[in-house]
Amino acid sequence: MSSGSNPMQVRADRPEIRLRRSANDRRLRFGFARTARAPYSCASTLRVTILGSGTAVPVAGRFPSGVLVQGGGQTVLVDLGPGVLRRLAETGVGLEAVDAVLLTHFHTDHCADLAALLFGLRNPRYAGRPPLRLIGAAGLRELLGHLTAAWPWLQPRDYTLSIEEIAPGPLRLGTLRVAAIPIRHTAQSLGYRITAAGGAVAAFSGDADECDELVELARDADLFVCDCAFPNEHRTEGHLTPALAGAAAARAEVKTLCLTHFYPECDGYDLTAQARACFGGEIVEAADLLTFDLRRE
Ligand SMILES: [Zn+2]
Ligand SMILES: [Zn+2]
């Protein structure tokens, strides 16, 4: 990651930037904000906040995987890596507001905070909160069974927990339309494509290797948050490089590509330039608490 393209630095000087882009009669508005503003209740738009842009290897300043999606009357977490709940607190969104968690897969850097979430929700302050939906591929129920066997105090108390093992296909979260699409990484891996009532689309690859399903996932998306675990020089099985992420974004004709999930091997490389060789749209390198507001007009 080159220092010149680090959004953290951009944000430090200019706490909020709003740009307008026009393409195919669709306009995308997005901004960078140090802290997401809560509550967020616009039904027709999507707010996407990166909670964790890091990985299983701890580094300062980047928590493991997690994204906050707000829209359609819903507050949704896509993945829940260790520590991500702390980042959520930094956005001003409390646990009482979370309606659903979508898990892309069961690697620990994407779901370890499930235990912290379930234990936290037993605090009396959350008694009577709305039902919580935990959504993921087959295996989710077994994972929760093991966690609860180890820690009986994860059982829900004074709220309803719904565990939903899903196959690839559509589902609804409030007025949000979600498509779960199988992605090459683990046998259970799913990417999620989320469409707001107003038409804005955000797509999340989770961890991913090269596959045609990435293009299906991100087709015409306003924002594609995509695995970019290693630079082109360190191509690693099961993950994407900037060039591969850029190629998928180009095929899908997305508006903005947000590269994320940076292993330390990325340090010192200009990931944006590597992706730029394959993709002509907007490219942003993720940073924790980076926020995008997506709206189609
Ligand atoms: Zn993984
Ligand atoms: Zn990962």
What are the pLDDT digits (tens) for 3-33? Answer: 444 433 333 222 232 333 322 233 333 333 4
> Per-residue confidence at 40, pLDDT binned at 50, 70, 90?
low
Q: What is the pLDDT of residue 43?
A: 66
Q: Cα separation of 27 and 47, whole Å?
A: 15
Write the burial class of residue 176 (CB in 10 Å: 0-12 exposed, 13-18 middle, 19+ buried).
buried
- Residue 256 sits at φ, ψ, to 5 deg, of -125, 130
Least confidently predicted of 17-31, 59-73, 118-132, 180-194:
17-31
d(CA 43, CA 67) in angstroms, rounded, equals: 19
CB 239 within 8 A of CB 230: yes
Rounded Cα distance, 113 and 90, in Å? 16
Nearest Cα residue to 118 out of 142, 102, 101, 136: 101
Residue 98 CA to residue 162 CA, distance in Å, equals: 13
Query: Residue 107: its pLDDT value, please?
Result: 98
- Rounded CA-CA distance 115/84 in Å is 12
CA of 101 to the centre of ligand 1 (A): 17
Q: What is the pLDDT of residue 296?
A: 86
The closest ligand to the CA of 209 turns out to be: 1
CATH fold of 3-12+28-294: Metallo-beta-lactamase; Chain A (3.60.15)
CA of 217 to the centre of ligand 2 (A): 18
Compute the distance from residue 106 Cα to the ligand 2 centre, in Å. 9
pTM for the complete prediction? 0.88
Q: What is the pLDDT of residue 30?
A: 39
Mean pLDDT over 110-124 rounds to 98
Q: 10 Å Cβ neighbour count for 167? A: 9
Q: If you search the block for the tokens 């695995």, which residue do you land on?
A: 227
C-alpha of residue 197 to centroid of ligand 2, in Å: 30
Residues 139/165, Cβ–Cβ less than 8 Å: yes
pLDDT tens digit sequence for 146-166: 999 999 999 999 999 999 999
Distance 263 CA to ligand 1 centre (A): 12
Q: How far is the C-alpha of 128 from the C-alpha of 217, rounded, in Å?
A: 36
| Nearest in space to 227 (alpha carbons), one of 215, 218, 239 | 239
Cα(262) to ligand 2 centroid in Å equals 9
Residue 297 reports pLDDT greater than 80 = no
| pLDDT tens digits for range 89-108 | 999 999 999 999 999 999 99
Distance of CA 127 to the CA centre of its chain: 27
**207 or 28: which leads in pLDDT:** 207
Q: CA nearest 135: which of 161, 107, 109?
A: 161
DSSP string, 35-104: S--S----SS-EEEEEEE---SS-BTTB-SSEEEEEETTEEEEEEE-TTHHHHHHHHT--GGG--EEE-S
| H-type alpha helices, 92-193 | 108-111, 113-120, 140-150
- Model confidence band, residue 44 (pLDDT cutoffs 50, 70, 90): confident
User: Which residues, including other chains, have CB under 8 Å from residue 179's CB and lie 6 or more apart?
Assistant: 169, 170, 192, 193, 195, 217
User: Can you tell me the distance from the alpha carbon of 285 to that of 251, in angstroms, rounded to the nearest whole number?
Assistant: 19
